[in-house]
Structure 1
């Protein structure tokens, strides 16, 4: 018996190693598959199908998925009791019947709000009585509903207001297996937020959001947070500084109807190994132009409209 025990122990150890190696290999393959998929064009449902239904509700998310969106785009804030909540604005007035900053309300208080009736008043052509009384959603609820069957494109909102946001978000995504399954992209206007996420888990694809608008003198464009200079003055070094932590950039296309980027911007980003996902594009002609310029994805409130344009391009 004494001679058999070392052999048995070694065999069990090898079997245990094999069971560990298989999941790790599968995770590596899933993450790599996501990065390969991102090289193809992505339909990103901006706050869900938010042109058709109240943003960040089940109605908008379910419609987006039914329309064939590749990613559900979510904006994440934190409640006063530290829960991750899907809502765009820092305050409640625009999309609920509540008032004040999101961060000053507990989850129970946020859950008591009507997050759907506003849409019927603002968009009567898409109104539905069922939207009245729609509830704000937690990230937990969204993940519980869709799991790893859906890909999520999550924005860290107002990270200066929530120093713990990045750690809480990454921990949740890891615990649910969404990083390992290649199911999530994280975006932010905050360079510091993305750099923190990168440090927490470098396997998560990151996109640096950019907002270009005229400077005070109106003679040039400037980026809202100073991440880059004007598109006219941007250099390879500027793009490379982003590529050190991110996989892509997400610029606006227009400011008050005037273009802020062009085909050259997209070509230069690509030359520096960065994807370009442009927001928020709802006009078909604009979609066609950006596709002609070679963008890698578009945020849209109307995923069905973008899918129609893609079919026209084939």
Structure 2
């Protein structure tokens, strides 16, 4: 089972910062999950929300600011400044350390034209296509990435109680993975995906009892905010 550090080691460190990614690596995680948006001037930046307010000391939409402005904002703590990383900075680091990455394209509320093309170009630049997985709640973005690159692995993200017959749905679009909410996942959905040859990576698994269920169901991967205890139980 692959363990993805959800936004890095976000249970202990500021999410989606290079500090959180490196601390997850130090804890033993070989896979990361992160989120990408576009700056006003078209650069790929790593941050979860469309708004800056929750995770930085700034306010407003990410896409309202140029990269040079975004990198002056603090995504860390009052004690330690952490800039909003660019995807390029992350890719250099991932290449150096042999990290597998799930990139969530955040086109749920704001559609960034050609963001899929930009993500793919960045991965190709650093030779990371085969070491990456693309997901989104906007399934149009996933399908667009599949059209751009038959080589890259893709996943449909689904919240809440998920979709009926999701294995058939993913298989129809040649999408390799289903990413459901573990709190609502059923054994029937797991079995249907497996029957269709579709893998499952499940979010966000911080409860060890729920993790044990995922192990029993033999899912392919889990996303967690708390790397060390999950890795200890999974045995990576």
Q: TM-score, with normalisation over the residues of structure 1?
A: 0.71
Measure how far apart 1:70 and its partner are: 2.7
Deviation string, structure 1 residues 117-172 (Cα, Å, up to 9, x no partner): 27xxxxxxxxxx4xx21111000111122316211110000265201100111111
Q: Does 1:178 align with 2:124?
A: no
CA distance in 1, matches of 2:93, 2:220: 28
Instruction: Give the number of the structure with larger relative contact order, counting CA–CA contacts within 8 Å between residues 6 or more apart.
Output: 2
TM-superposition CA deviations, 1:196-253 (whole Å, max 9, x none)? 10110010011111112xxxxxxxx5x5xxxx3xxxxx23xx4222113310100002
> Paired residue for 1:210?
158
Aligned pair count reads 233
Measured after TM superposition, the shift of residue 93 of structure 1 is 0.4
Contact 2:9 2:24 in 1 (8 A): yes
Q: Tell me the SS of whatever aligns to 1:153.
A: strand
Q: Pick the structure with greater CA Rg.
A: 1
TM-superposed deviation, 1:277: 0.7
Q: List aligned pairs for 1:74-93, cutoff 5 A.
A: 74-93=34-53
Structure 1, unpaired ranges of 5+: 1-40, 119-128, 213-220, 229-233, 255-259
Q: In the alignment, what sits opposite 2:85?
A: 137
| Deviation for aligned residue 1:59 | 1.4
Secondary structure at 1:109's aligned position in 2?
Answer: helix
Aligned to 2:170: 242
Does the Cα contact within 8 Å between 1:300 and 1:306 map onto a contact in 2? yes
Considering fraction of residues, name the structure with more helix. Answer: 1
In the alignment, what sits opposite 2:114?
164
CA RMSD for the aligned pairs?
1.6
Counterpart CA distance in 2 for 1:114 and 1:289 is 38
What is aligned with 2:187? 263
Match of 1:154 in 2: 103
Distance in 2, Cα, partners of 1:292 & 1:75: 29
* Structure 2: tracts of 5 or more residues without a match: none
Q: Distance in 1 between matches of 2:50 and 2:146?
A: 24
> Any conservation in 1 of the 2:70–2:84 contact (CA below 8 Å)?
yes
